[in-house]
Structure 1
Amino acid sequence: MRLWSIHPQYLDAKGLVGLWREALLAQKVLQGDTSGYKNHPQLTRFKSTANPVGSVADYLRHVADEADKRGYNFNRDKIVNERCGGRIAVTDKQVEYEFTHLLNKLKQRSHELYLRLSSEIEEIEVHPQFAKIRGNVEPWEVT
């Protein structure tokens, strides 16, 4: 399960669709609608909020917003009608780690996007559900 902290604008089509699917799975897990992935480390940050289901629903809405900008049609009816309203802290080192990880993926499957992102991006934007703070890589992300 990969729930990116970086802004979904950086993802290629395959990455954006994958993120949508993974976040929908996370929503099911947090609702208790599936037996798998209950203790997945990437769910920790959502579980730590006052409303985990609302938090992942907010996350999904932002992913759907990015899809809309690209002319994709993600079914927003799959997002539960809950909201969290807050943002989740993510460290700057975690954001850098994820961006580097994405660049390595794009180098193989979307070389043109890889070249553009690796040369043009100076300040990495985070997913709107997150607020960047100073700190180390999150331990649940290191593989």
Structure 2
Amino acid sequence: MRLWSLHPRHLDPAGLVALWREALLAKAVLRGETRGYRHHPQLQRFQAHPQPRSAINAYLAAVHEEASTRGYRFDRSKIGPVREVESIAVSSGQLALEWTHLLRKLEVRSPAVHERWAGTPGPDCHPLFHRVPGPVASWEKAV
């Protein structure tokens, strides 16, 4: 499971579809609807949020918005109510790691998308997150 901290606009089609599915799985986990993935490190940020379910809905809403912009038809009814929630801090080190990881994936899977982003200084954050200085997150597994 990879719940990207970077903005969904940076993902290629396969990455955006995978993010939608993985975020829906995360929502099910946070709602207690599945026994698997309950201790997955990617969920720690959401579990620590004062409103975990609202936070994942806000996360999904931004993914849905990007998908809609691209003409995809993700099922909006799967998100649930979207409320304004406190943003989640993401460190500059975490964003840098994810950016490098994504660029490696894109180089192989989607060369045109890789070329679009390779010359940029770095990613925008997912709208749920805000950037703060710091190292890679302690929950991150080596990629």
Deviation at 1:45, TM superposition (A): 0.2
Deviation at 1:84, TM superposition (A): 5.1
Name 1:137's counterpart in structure 2. 136
Which residues in structure 2 correspond to 1:83-98 (within 5 Å)? 83=83, 85-98=85-98
Name 1:115's counterpart in structure 2. 115
Q: How far apart, in 1, do the equivalents of 2:84 and 2:41 lie?
A: 20
Does the Cα contact within 8 Å between 1:50 and 1:84 map onto a contact in 2?
Answer: no
Q: How far apart, in 2, do the equivalents of 1:63 and 1:132 lie?
A: 18
Q: Give per-residue Cα distances to partners, 1:25-56, cap 9 Å, x unaligned.
A: 00000000001000111110001111101100
Q: What letter corresponds to residue 50 of structure 1 in structure 2? A: P
Q: How far apart, in 2, do the equivalents of 1:45 and 1:125 lie?
A: 18
Q: How far apart, in 2, do the equivalents of 1:123 and 1:40 lie?
A: 26
Q: What letter corresponds to residue 139 of structure 2 in structure 1? A: W
Q: What letter corresponds to residue 94 of structure 1 in structure 2? A: Q
The alignment's TM-score, normalised by the length of structure 2, stands at: 0.96
Q: What letter corresponds to residue 4 of structure 2 in structure 1? A: W
Which residues in structure 2 correspond to 1:1-143 (within 5 Å)? 1-83=1-83, 85-119=85-119, 121-143=120-142
Partner SS state of residue 80, structure 1: coil
Q: How far apart, in 2, do the equivalents of 1:91 and 1:84 lie?
A: 22
Deviation at 1:82, TM superposition (A): 4.9
Deviation at 1:118, TM superposition (A): 0.6
Partner SS state of residue 132, structure 1: strand
Unaligned 5+ runs, structure 1: none
- Cα RMSD (Å): 1.0
Deviation at 1:80, TM superposition (A): 2.0
What is the aligned residue count?
A: 142
Q: How far apart, in 2, do the equivalents of 1:114 and 1:79 lie?
A: 29
Q: What letter corresponds to residue 140 of structure 2 in structure 1? A: E
Does the Cα contact within 8 Å between 2:91 and 2:135 map onto a contact in 1?
Answer: yes
Task: State the percentage of identical aligned residues.
Answer: 47
Partner SS state of residue 122, structure 1: coil
Runs of 4+ in 1 over 3 A off after TM superposition: none
The alignment's TM-score, normalised by the length of structure 1, stands at: 0.96
